[in-house]
Chains A and B, each alone.
Chain A
Amino acid sequence: AQSVTQLGSHVSVSEGALVLLRCNYSSSVPPYLFWYVQYPNQGLQLLLKYTTGATLVKGINGFEAEFKKSETSFHLTKPSAHMSDAAEYFCAVSDRIQGAQKLVFGQGTRLTINP
Chain B
Amino acid sequence: NAGVTQTPKFQVLKTGQSMTLQCAQDMNHNSMYWYRQDPGMGLRLIYYSASEGTTDKGEVPNGYNVSRLNKREFSLRLESAAPSQTSVYFCASSRPPNLGETQYFGPGTRLLVL
Contact = CB atoms under 8 A, between A and B. Distances in A.
Interface string B100-114: 111111111000000
B25 interface: no
B43 A103 contact: yes
Main secondary structure of the interface of B (DSSP, over half): loop
Given A32-B99, A43-B90, A43-B107, A100 B42 contact: no
The number of chain B residues touching the other chain, given as a range, is: 20 to 34
B99 A90 contact: no
Given A44-B90, A99-B50, A94 B99 contact: yes
B97 A105 contact: no
Contacts of A99: 50, 97
A18 interface: no
Interface of A: 4, 9, 32, 34, 36, 41-46, 49, 51-52, 90, 92, 94-103, 105-108
